Amino acid sequence: MLKWAIIFLIIAIVAALAGFGGVAGAATNIAYILGVIFLVLAVIAFLRRAA
């Protein structure tokens, strides 16, 4: 999950540098959502091991 978030973040940066604002915005949103999902799943996994 984190791998995909990083990939979409790189796509967003490249698209922004190339002048594709719409693509950059979409890729940034996808990267953010995947990053949040990763963090939530990581916290859940951590709490399950601690219990």
Q: SS3 sequence, the chain?
A: CHHHHHHHHHHHHHHHHHCCHHHHHHHHHHHHHHHHHHHHHHHHHHHHHHC
What predicted TM-score, i.e. pTM, was given to this entire model? 0.78
- Token readout for 14 is 């490249």
* pLDDT beneath 50: ranges in the chain: none
* pLDDT score, position 51: 72
Please, are residues 15 and 30 in contact by the beta-carbon 8 Å criterion? no
Q: Please, what is the Cα angle at 39 between 35 and 41, to 5 degrees? A: 115
* pLDDT score, position 8: 87
* pLDDT score, position 46: 94
* pLDDT score, position 42: 93
* pLDDT score, position 21: 87
Complete DSSP assignment for 10-21: HHHHHHHHHT-H
Hey, where are the domains in the chain? 2-50
